[in-house]
Amino acid sequence: MGGRVFLVFLAFCVWLTLPGAETQDSRGCARWCPQDSSCVNATACRCNPGFSSFSEIITTPMETCDDINECATLSKVSCGKFSDCWNTEGSYDCVCSPGYEPVSGAKTFKNESENTCQDVDECSSGQHQCDSSTVCFNTVGSYSCRCRPGWKPRHGIPNNQKDTVCEDMTFSTWTPPPGVHSQTLSRFFDKVQDLGRDYKPGLANNTIQSILQALDELLEVPGDLETLPRLQQHCVASHLLDGLEDVLRGLSKNLSNGLLNFSYPAGTELSLEVQKQVDRSVTLRQNQAVMQLDWNQAQKSGDPGPSVVGLVSIPGMGKLLAEAPLVLEPEKQMLLHETHQGLLQDGSPILLSDVISAFLSNNDTQNLSSPVTFTFSHREEDPVLTVITYMGLSVSLLCLLLAALTFLLCKAIQNTSTSLHLQLSLCLFLAHLLFLVAIDQTGHKVLCSIIAGTLHYLYLATLTWMLLEALYLFLTARNLTVVNYSSINRFMKKLMFPVGYGVPAVTVAISAASRPHLYGTPSRCWLQPEKGFIWGFLGPVCAIFSVNLVLFLVTLWILKNRLSSLNSEVSTLRNTRMLAFKATAQLFILGCTWCLGILQVGPAARVMAYLFTIINSLQGVFIFLVYCLLSQQVREQYGKWSKGIRKLKTESEMHTLSSSAKADTSKPSTVN
C-alpha cells in the first residue's frame, strides 16, 4: 500500500514539473480535472451529474468519472408500465417496450408521468413477419402467425408462433387410394408430395402447371394402370378427380386476380378465373364444355379471400372410366330409360365427350341459390364424316361388285394378276358391307365381339392382298424382258392363297386367344385401344405400307431404267408406262391411305380425318377405275357385252313384233 501511494505521489510531482503544467487557470480552478467533471477550486474537482468517481471530491488527476447506470435494478428511475429504461452516457431514456408505442408520438421520455405507451397492432400496420401461408393475429404487446385454413405447421414447428412455417394440407392428404398397387401411380404421387414440400404461396401458378403436367403425362402413358381390374381403374379415376379439385381449389386462392388458361400435349386443359366478390356472371369455356354461373355462387359465406371458379378438361381420364356404370337418382334413371329405351336396353353407357371437372371456392354445392349450367359437345360424332363414310362406301360397294363380276366373267383378261384383283375386291367388298350394317351393333356384347373380330380379319386380308399385288407388280417389272412369265405365275399361285388368307387368320387367332375381351368397344364393334390391343391392326398396316413403299421405289427404279433403254417398240413402251401407273396407284390408293388414320393427331387431326375418310371410302371406286375402266381389254370386253345386250334386245323386240303379227293373221275376219 505504501509503494502504491509513493507511485501516485511521484506521478503528481512529475506532472507538476512538466513544462506548461499549470495547476490552476485564471479563475483559480484546477486544470487537471478529469473528463466528465467540473472544477470546485484550485485543488479539487467534482464529477458531472450522471457520473461518479471513487470519492465525491477529486483531488488527484488519476481519478476518473464513470457513467452511472440509472437503469440498474437498484435505480430509483421508474419509466412506468409497458416501457423500458435505456441507459445513455451520463443520463437515461425511457422507451416503450417492443409491441408498444407512445400515444404522444415522442420516441423517448424521462419518467413515469410522461408514459403514454399503448399496444401496437402489428397485423394491421404491416409490422409483422407472417408469410402468405399464415394469418397474423395481434396479441397484447406482440403478435402470432397461425396457419391458414387448409394448412398445417411443418413437423417440429409449433403453430401460433412468430416463426410458424406452414404447409398445404391438400398435398399431404392426396396420396394413392388404399388397396391399389401401381408403380406408375406411385411415381405420380411422389411428384405431388415433392411439389408439396417445396411449395410456397408465391409459386402457386408454377405448382398448378407442374401438377397438371404430371397428370397429363400419367394419363398419356398409364403403364400398369391399364392392367388393373376395371373397378380399381374407376376408383383411381374418382380419386384423381377428387384430389385434383381439392388441390386446385386451395392453390388458386394464392393466384392474382384474372383469367388463366393452361393446356398440355395429351389434351389436358385448365381454365380458371380468380376475382374478388363481384355481382356478375362468369363463363368458362373448353373445347368440349362450357360452364356458366353467378359469381355469388362461387364464394362460401364468411370465407375471406378471392373467389375461384375453375374448369378442367381431362380427355385421358376416359381410359380409366371405360365401362363405368351410369349412376343417377332413381327418378332420373327412370326418365332416361323412358326417353332412350332403345339405346339403353342392353348396352353400357358410352363416353362421348372429354371428362370435365369443375370446382369453386365454395365446396358446398348441394344447395345453390341459382343454377350452374354445363354445355357439353360430343368429341366423336361428326355428321359430315358420317355422311361421307356412308355415301363413299355405298358407291364403293357398287364398284367392287362390278369389278368382281368383271374379273370373273371377262375371259380375255383372266390371269394371275386378275386373280389378285378379284380376291382384293371380294375381301374389301365384304369388309365394307359388314362395316356399314354392323359396326354400331353394340347392344349384344358377344355379337359385337364377333363382328369386331370378323372386321379385323377382313381388313387384314385386304391389306395382305394389297401386299401381294405390290409383290406381283415388282416381279413383273423385274422380269419385263422375259417373254415367258410362267415361273412368276407358278410362284404367285402357290403363294397367294396361303398368304392372303392364312396370315390374317393367324394374326386374328393370336389376338383373340390372348385378349378376347378387347374385341368390341362401348361405341363401336372394333378393337379397343387399351393395353396396345389396337396395334394388332395398326402393326400390320405399318408393316405392309413400309414393304409396299420399298417395292414401289424399286419398281419405279426398274421401270425408269427400262424406259430409258427402250427402242421404238410402241407396245412395249405402252406396257411399261401402264406398269408405272399401276405402281403409283398401288402405293397412293391401296396403301398410303391407311397411314392417314395413324396421322390423326395434333392440329392436323381433323384434316387427316377427312382425307382418310374420303379416300378410304372410295377405295372400291379406285380399284374399278384402275383395273377395269383403264384397261383396254376390259373396255373392249365391255363393248362386246354392250353389243350383245343390244343385239339380244333387238332380237327380243323383233320376236315380240313377229309374234304379234302372227296373232293378228290368225284371227277370223268378221263380216258386217
Residue 328 pLDDT > 70: no
The DSSP code for 374 is E
Indicate whether this model's pTM tops 0.85: no
450, 477 contact by CB (below 8 A)? no
Q: Which fold has domain 2-67?
A: Laminin (2.10.25)
Residue 658 pLDDT > 90: no
423, 495 contact by CB (below 8 A)? no
276, 236 contact by CB (below 8 A)? no
Report the range of poorest mean pLDDT among 369-378, 390-399, 463-472, 537-546: 369-378
Please tell me the predicted confidence (pLDDT) of residue 170. 65
Residues 6+ apart with CB under 8 A from 477: 555, 558, 559, 562, 579, 583
Q: For the chain, give the number of residues.
A: 672
Write the CA distances from 637 to 384, 417, 643, integer angstroms.
39, 17, 10
Instruction: Render pLDDT for 433-478 as a digit per residue (tens, 0 to 9).
Output: 999 999 988 878 889 999 999 999 999 999 999 888 888 888 887 7
Cα 68 → chain centroid: 75
Report the range of poorest mean pLDDT among 227-241, 398-412, 543-557: 543-557
CA proximity to 453, closest of 464, 438, 468, 469: 438
Interval 258-270 mean pLDDT: 86
Instruction: Render pLDDT for 28-87 as a digit per residue (tens, 0 to 9).
Output: 677 788 888 888 888 889 999 889 888 888 888 888 899 888 888 667 778 888 888 988
Please tell me the predicted confidence (pLDDT) of residue 672. 37
> So where are the chain's domains?
2-67, 174-328+345-376, 383-640
CA proximity to 282, closest of 212, 377, 370: 370
Please tell me the predicted confidence (pLDDT) of residue 469. 84
The DSSP bridge partners found for residue 92 are 87
CA 553 to CA 541: how far, in whole Å?
18
CA atoms within 13 A on the CB side of 227: 7
Asked: is 383-640 a CATH 1.20.1630.10 domain? The reply is no
So what's the architecture of 174-328+345-376 in CATH?
A: Sandwich (2.60)
Please tell me the predicted confidence (pLDDT) of residue 330. 65
Residues 6+ apart with CB under 8 A from 467: 544, 547, 548
The DSSP bridge partners found for residue 522 are none
CA 38 to CA 32: how far, in whole Å?
10
90, 49 contact by CB (below 8 A)? yes
Cα 545 → chain centroid: 31
CA 370 to CA 71: how far, in whole Å?
68
552, 581 contact by CB (below 8 A)? no
Interval 607-628 mean pLDDT: 83
Please tell me the predicted confidence (pLDDT) of residue 10. 42
Fill in the amino acid letter for 596.
Answer: L
Q: Do domains 174-328+345-376 and 383-640 have the same CATH topology?
A: no
**Banded model confidence at residue 499, pLDDT cuts 50, 70, 90:** very high
